[in-house]
Structure 1
C-alpha cells in the first residue's frame, strides 16, 4: 500500500506528464497546421489613411472584413528611401531594404555599361503569350531570397507560387526566384503574358482566360461614379486644376466615355487608367486559383496579387480626386469578391492573407502651395545643367557627372581613374562641391555622400537612416539628394508622385487576416520589412536570406 508521500509523488508525476504531454501535442499540431494558401495583396500607392477616409462608404465584406476580423498595424512604414514600386515589392517579400536586396529603383543607372536599366530587365528572356512585347524580364537583379522562395525551398518546390499584376515588376519580384509563374498585362494585346524565365508557353487556363477578351468588354462602357457624385464628400471638387486630363477630355471630370476615348489613349493602355483594370486582375486571380488548384492539398501555396491601377490613376489626379475615391470603393468590392472566392475554393479558416502597399503618395505640391503649405517642384535637369557649370569652374574641361536620376548623382569614374594626376581626394572634393552647390538650391534639404553612407549605421534613425537603408554601394550613386517635405521632382503642376522618406510616402496599410491571425489592432511602429518574417513564422519556414525585419510580435502574444 502506498504511503501518502509515495501517492503524492505518483500524482505529481502523472500531472506533469499530462501537462507537458498536452503542451507537446499542442506544439506538434501548431507547427504542422499551416495555411493551405497564403495570399499577398499589394495595392500600389495606397495610403493608410484611405482606410479611414473612405471607411464609411466601404461595404462590409472587403476592407471592413479585413479590419474587423483581422489584425491591423496602424503605424506601418517604409523605413528607407526611395519609396518606389520595384523596391517596395522587393522589400515586402524579402523582409529587407534596397541596401541588401539591391532593387534601388524601378529604373536605375547601371555603372558598368553607363545605361539605365529596369529592375526586372533580363535580355536573356523572351515574352511568352504574344509574338512581341514586354517579356524580357526575370528576378535576377534581386539579391535576396523572398518568403515565396523560402516556401519553395521548404516544400522541395512542391508549393505553387504565382505572381499576378498589371506591372511586370509587381508580379516578378513577389514570385521570387523560384516562383512557378508570374503574369502581367500586355497593353498591346490586352492579354496576360509571362516570360521564358518561367515557361515556354502559357498554361491552358491562362489561354482560356485570355480568349474571353474581357478588356474589350470593360472598355465598351462608361466610367461613372459608383455612387451619386454628390456623396463623394471625402474628396475635392470633380473639376480640379490639380488633375491631369485624359486625352480627348477638355476637363478631368466624370463621366469618362471609354469607347470614345480608347483610340486617343493608347487602346488597351486606357484600361490601366480605369478601375476596371482591378476587375480584370481580380477575375484573373480567381482563374489562377482554379486553374492551378491552389490551396487544394496539404502543401501550402502562395498567390501574390498586386493591384497597379491605383498608382496610375493616383499619379494623374492626386489623392484628393473623386477618381481615386471611386477606384478604392470599387477595389473594396474586388477584395470582397476575392475573399468570397477564397472561402469557397480554399475554405474559410484555411488561408492566410495580408494586404499592404508598395508606397504611399504625396499631395499635389501646387495644391499645397496654393493653400499656404510648404511644398514645391525640383527640376533635376536644370540642376544638373547648373551643376556642370559650377564644377567646370573648379575642374575646367572635365565631364565629372555621368548621370543624375532618382535624386542621385553618379560621378564619371573615367574622369578620375587612369589619370596620374587624379587621387581619391579629388572624388571627395567633387562630392563635397556638389553637396555645397545643392544646398543653395531651393527645395533641397540635405545631401549624403557615398563615404558618409557606407560608414553609417544601418539602424540609424531619421532621414539619414532611411537613406542608408535605401543605399546599395554597388548600384547607388555617389551623392544622394534629399528634398524638403512636400517637394518632388516634376515638370507639371498637375498630378503627383512618391519616393521621399517622409510619412506621406511611407505610412501604408499592414493588414493580416485568416488562419493563425487573431483579431486586433496595434499602434506600435513596424517597418514594412516585418511582413515577410511574420508570414515565415506563421508558415514555420526560414526567414528570407537577407531579412532584416522581425515578426509582428503582437500577433503571437
Structure 2
C-alpha cells in the first residue's frame, strides 16, 4: 500500500509540475501573442510611380544611387512577380485597386472615364459637380471627389481604426492619383492645377487650403525649374540603355536639351512632361510631413503619393527613350532625398513605405517595327466607325455603336431594343466582323465571358474588370504590343505583362529584407498593410496578405 501511495504521490507531483510548466508556457505565448499595446509605425507612405514597368527596377539599376531605388531593393522586400488582376489597365483603376484591395467589378472605377448610360455622356472617374475648386480660381479642375469609388480604402480603414485621429493626405499631379488613394474619409487630397501652377483641392475636403499650401502656391516653383531647361543628368553618350536621341516615333521631336524657359509664367502645365513634375510632388510631400506633423506621435498617419511625371514622359517618348531613362535617374535622386528626409523627420525604423505602379507600358510600335518585332495600333474612332458602317449596311440603322472605349464596344440600347432582331444576334455579328480587323486577337460578349474559350488568365482579368452598371457590351483583345493609340509615343491598358507586371517593394518598420518570385497581385497590397497595421481590410477587398514580408 505504501508503494502505491508513493507512486500516486509521485504521479501527482509530476502532473502538477507539467501543469505548472504548461501554464508558464501558455502565459509566455499569450504575452507574445497579445502585447500590452498594438505596435504600428508612426507613418505609412505609399509611393505609386505612374507607368513604371517592373523591369525599370533593374534596367537602370547600375546607374541608380545607393539611397533611392537600390535602398528600397536592398533594405526592403521585393515581391518580384506582382501582377494586375484585371483589364483594362489604366491609371484610375490601378490607384483604386492598390488602396482598396479590390477590382473594378466591385469598386466601380473601370477606367479613367466611362460611358454613363443614365446621363448618356462620358463620366470622368473623380468627377463631382456638387463640389467646387478650393485653393485657386474656380474651374472644372477642382470639381473632384472620390464619390464614384464604390468601396473604401486601406486609408479609410486606418481612419476608422484610429477613431479618425490618424491623418490621411493624398498628393499627386493628377487628381485621380491623389483622390482615389486618399479615400473617402481623408483629411485632404491635393493635386496640381496646370492652368495656374497651384496645388488645389475641392470643397469635399475643406473650405480653404491651409496656409502652407497657400504660401507654397505663391512661389510658382514651376518657373524655377523651367529656367533650368531639361538637360541630361549625365553625359548623353552614357545613356547606353536607350536608343539614340530624337526618334521619328517619339511623340515630340525635340533633342536634348529640351527648352523649357519659353514656358515661364505662360504654361504651368508643361512641367508634367518633365522629371521636375516628380520633384515638385515630392517637395510638397516633405512640406506636408513638416506642416501637418505627420508621424510625430504614436497614432499612425498615412501619406499617399503618386509620381505622375513618369507617365507623361512615358506616353510621349516611350520606354526606350533617353527621356525615360533620364526621368528615372532623376527620380532615383529625388527618392534618395525623400528617404533621407523621412529618416530625419520621422526617424529611420519609424515608418513603413511601399513602392508600386498603377500599370506599365508597351514598347512604342515604331521602335518594335524598326527592330523587326510585331506591333501596331488601332483607333477607337475607326473601330466605332467601321462597325457602325457594317451594322448600318446589315440592319439599316445608323449609329448602333455609341462608343468604343476601354477596349469595349458600347451599343445604343434604345436602338437595339427596337430592332426586329435580337441583341444577341447583333452582338454575334459584331464579334465576327471585329475579329477580322487588323490587330484583333479576339472579341467576346462580356455578359457571356464564362462561356468563352479564352485562356483563363484573359477570362479572369476581363471578368474582374467588368462592372455590370458601368462596363460595355463587347470586349476586344488585341495582339501583343498592339494598342489603342497614335502612331507616335506609347500607352497601356491591355492584359499583357508589359502593362500588368508591376514593381512592389516594401521597406521600413515591420518589413523583413528579401525577395520572392511567388506570384502576387496588386489586390494583395491593401490586405498586407491591414495585417501589418492590425486593422480591418477594406470592405471590397479580394486580395490576400503577403506574409513573406513581415518580421513576424
Q: Which residue of 1 aligns with 2:3?
A: none
Matched, 1:127 2:123: no
Shift of 1:20: 2.2
Q: Which residue of 2 aligns with 1:548?
A: 542
Q: Which residue of 2 aligns with 1:495?
A: 489
The alignment partner of 1:393 has SS state of helix
**2: distance between equivalents of 1:187 and 1:18?**
65
Q: Which residue of 1 aligns with 2:150?
A: 143
Q: Which residue of 2 aligns with 1:444?
A: 440
Q: Which residue of 2 aligns with 1:371?
A: 371
Shift of 1:473: 1.1
Which residue of 24, 31, 39 corresponds with 2:30? 24
Matched, 1:57 2:63: yes
**CA pair 145-76 structure 1, distance change in 2 beyond 3 A:** same
Q: Which residue of 1 aligns with 2:528?
A: 534
Does the 8 Å contact 1:75/1:526 carry over to 2?
yes
**1: distance between equivalents of 2:298 and 2:41?**
8
Q: Which residue of 2 aligns with 1:168?
A: 175
Larger mean CA deviation between 341-350 and 514-523 belongs to 341-350
The alignment partner of 2:310 has SS state of helix
Q: Which residue of 2 aligns with 1:267?
A: 267
Does the 8 Å contact 1:356/1:508 carry over to 2?
yes
The alignment partner of 1:512 has SS state of strand
Aligned length: 544
Q: Which residue of 1 aligns with 2:456?
A: 461
Does the 8 Å contact 2:115/2:121 carry over to 1?
yes
Structure 1 segment 477-492 matched on structure 2, within 5 A = 477-491=472-486
The alignment partner of 1:90 has SS state of helix
Matched, 1:179 2:186: yes
**2: distance between equivalents of 1:291 and 1:262?**
28
Shift of 1:51: 0.7
Does the 8 Å contact 2:506/2:549 carry over to 1?
no
Shift of 1:63: 0.8
**CA pair 217-398 structure 1, distance change in 2 beyond 3 A:** closer
Structure 1 segment 69-468 matched on structure 2, within 5 A = 69-133=75-139, 134-245=141-252, 251-260=253-262, 267-417=267-417, 419=418, 422=420, 426-453=422-449, 461-468=456-463
Larger mean CA deviation between 382-391 and 13-22 belongs to 13-22
Deviation sequence 1:493-530 (CA, Å, 0-9, x none): 22100000000001110001111110110001111110
For the aligned residues, what is the CA RMSD? 2.0
Does the 8 Å contact 2:154/2:538 carry over to 1?
yes
Shift of 1:28: 2.4
**1: distance between equivalents of 2:311 and 2:37?**
38
**2: distance between equivalents of 1:482 and 1:272?**
31
Does the 8 Å contact 2:134/2:202 carry over to 1?
yes
Shift of 1:378: 1.0
Which residue of 5, 9, 17 corresponds with 2:15? 9
Shift of 1:17: 2.9
The alignment partner of 1:256 has SS state of coil
**CA pair 455-100 structure 1, distance change in 2 beyond 3 A:** farther
Shift of 1:180: 0.7
Larger mean CA deviation between 211-220 and 138-147 belongs to 211-220
Shift of 1:405: 1.6
Shift of 1:461: 2.8
**2: distance between equivalents of 1:87 and 1:487?**
21
**2: distance between equivalents of 1:41 and 1:460?**
33
**1: distance between equivalents of 2:220 and 2:28?**
56
Shift of 1:16: 2.3
Shift of 1:257: 2.3
Does the 8 Å contact 1:398/1:415 carry over to 2?
no
Does the 8 Å contact 1:453/1:471 carry over to 2?
no
The TM-score with structure 1 as length reference comes to: 0.94
Q: Which residue of 2 aligns with 1:248?
A: none
Shift of 1:387: 1.1
Does the 8 Å contact 1:362/1:496 carry over to 2?
yes
The alignment partner of 1:481 has SS state of strand
Shift of 1:467: 1.0
Does the 8 Å contact 2:52/2:361 carry over to 1?
yes
**1: distance between equivalents of 2:433 and 2:331?**
45
Does the 8 Å contact 2:365/2:377 carry over to 1?
yes
Deviation sequence 1:162-217 (CA, Å, 0-9, x none): 00000000000000011110000011111111010000000122112223332121
Gaps of 5+ in 2: 1-5
**1: distance between equivalents of 2:15 and 2:227?**
81
**CA pair 340-29 structure 1, distance change in 2 beyond 3 A:** farther
**1: distance between equivalents of 2:203 and 2:282?**
24
| Runs ≥4 residues deviating over 6 A | 454-457
Deviation sequence 1:327-354 (CA, Å, 0-9, x none): 1111111111111111112111111111
The TM-score with structure 2 as length reference comes to: 0.95
Deviation sequence 1:371-392 (CA, Å, 0-9, x none): 2211111122222222112112
Shift of 1:553: 2.4
The alignment partner of 1:394 has SS state of helix
**CA pair 4-348 structure 1, distance change in 2 beyond 3 A:** farther
The alignment partner of 1:244 has SS state of coil
**CA pair 344-3 structure 1, distance change in 2 beyond 3 A:** farther
Gaps of 5+ in 1: 246-250
Shift of 1:367: 1.4
Q: Which residue of 2 aligns with 1:39?
A: 45
Shift of 1:401: 1.5
